[in-house]
Structure 1
């Protein structure tokens, strides 16, 4: 089951085709974050695939203004809970972000993203399968998580290999910080389907293809 909170608002007879459409967008052109059931850990940003099943996503702005491109350049690729993502998706700013920004979520093993640059109502730039620069703040977070690890690759290659959740398995301190954040996310256990709150123990299980399962039993 994909994006359960979003699907709850759709009539059951339409859910299956809608689910497939959302899944396709999540893995191809990118999915509007308003439909992506984003979950924020201490380190990573996830989409909710089903009860207690999460997968990290890349987040970026799929549309920017020409003025923005001149001032700040092309969109940056976010993959961690950097200060920019924290600010844009805070309780105070989330509604403004969803209505004034064009953030997309995407699952991919390639640095190839599509976005547009607009001036007024006109498209003045259209980019397809374009490699985006990694957000410097996100990069610093992932580099600090990798400290002490022997990883024979650049940060970008390592990131798009989609194995970075293994860092949570290898380091108890990193894992506990991610657990504490996820306990506040109103997630359900993937085994018993019960709600996991801050008073319940939580376990993380890293699965193939960079999938994270969350359980309380």
Structure 2
């Protein structure tokens, strides 16, 4: 088949000339010698001695940390259930004063509100014996948590129970609790709703 091709095409199928032989630049393969390869068993005693004296302490993985925190949280909850009632002595708490039937709980306080604001708003219903805004006494133990002036709720203790349970007071808070937003509060309230620094639930 190829004998019918013209000479210029037959030249394309001609083999290349053989490579020129040159001597090896280093050593002949049969005369070459490499380093002797041995096992690592002879180094094991030295590795064990280094391992015993290096003082390496393995770090805790995130899985181990997750399991450890879960166990610590469970142990703290069990400890609170068993030891908490033993240390709960409200009669010895100096901050608990006043009659519970004269005490009004004010929740969802604005963080800008203070005792003067509460006294101004609730003093119109009757004389107030004591106002206590709850603060976080363990805030110094939570360095990563944002500091807040108080916990957002307070206790208002009236001098007379009838002032706390009076019709004006009850009507005031019932109207507040039935309105979803300050804009919908009725204009018949004894004070301006938009000036309140807090939200009150039904008494």
TM value normalised by structure 2:
0.20
Structure whose residues are more often helix by fraction: 2
TM value normalised by structure 1:
0.19
Structure whose residues are more often strand by fraction: 1
